[in-house]
């Protein structure tokens, strides 16, 4: 009889150990899943920031913003220039000009969005004096 009760206690201990390790693995899987999602999101944000910075640098050195945007792979839609990255990030460029007595300030605002979330917004402004237009 004593042997049988010890066997029951052993089985209960084994069941408790299996339950504990099952719960621990569930928590670990959920933690790794959240970590993976955050890592992918951070990677997309970094890629968006780098691509936006590269495009801003390229646009700061040109005089024809529309031609430069077309060369970078942007297409014009409803007055805005847009392109998609491999990560599903949409890069949008909005062009505007301000005329002054000495020349024209060309403003390009680059915005990277993923879904409805704005990841980064960078300006790419350059000034073209009157001598540059002649």
The Cα 105–Cα 35 span in angstroms is: 44
* Number of Cβ within a 10 Å radius of residue 112: 26
Which residues are registered as beta bridge partners of 81? 76, 93
Q: Tell me the average pLDDT across 100-128.
A: 88
Q: Tell me the average pLDDT across 8-32.
A: 94
Q: Which domain holds residue 47?
A: 2-133
Q: Tell me the average pLDDT across 49-67.
A: 88
Please report the pLDDT score of residue 1 as a whole number.
57
Three-state DSSP state, 34: helix
Nearest Cα to 118, choosing from 94, 95, 92, 96? Answer: 92
Mean pLDDT computed over every residue of the chain: 87
Instruction: Please say if the pLDDT value at position 51 is more than 70.
Output: yes
Instruction: Please say if the pLDDT value at position 132 is more than 50.
Output: no
Quote the number of domains for the chain. Answer: 1
């Amino acid at each position: 009889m004593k042997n049988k009760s010890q066997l029951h206690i052993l089985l209960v201990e084994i069941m408790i150990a299996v339950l504990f390790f099952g719960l621990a693995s569930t928590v670990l899987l959920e933690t790794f899943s959240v970590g993976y999602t955050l890592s992918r999101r951070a990677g997309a944000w970094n890629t968006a920031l780098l691509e936006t910075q590269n495009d801003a640098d390229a646009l700061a050195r040109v005089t024809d913003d529309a031609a430069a945007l077309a060369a970078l792979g942007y297409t014009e839609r409803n007055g805005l220039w847009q392109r998609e990255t491999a990560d599903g990030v949409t890069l949008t460029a909005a062009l505007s000009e301000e005329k002054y007595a000495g020349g024209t300030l060309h403003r390009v605002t680059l915005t990277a969005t993923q879904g409805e979330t704005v990841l980064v917004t960078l300006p790419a402004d350059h000034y073209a004096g009157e001598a540059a237009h002649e």
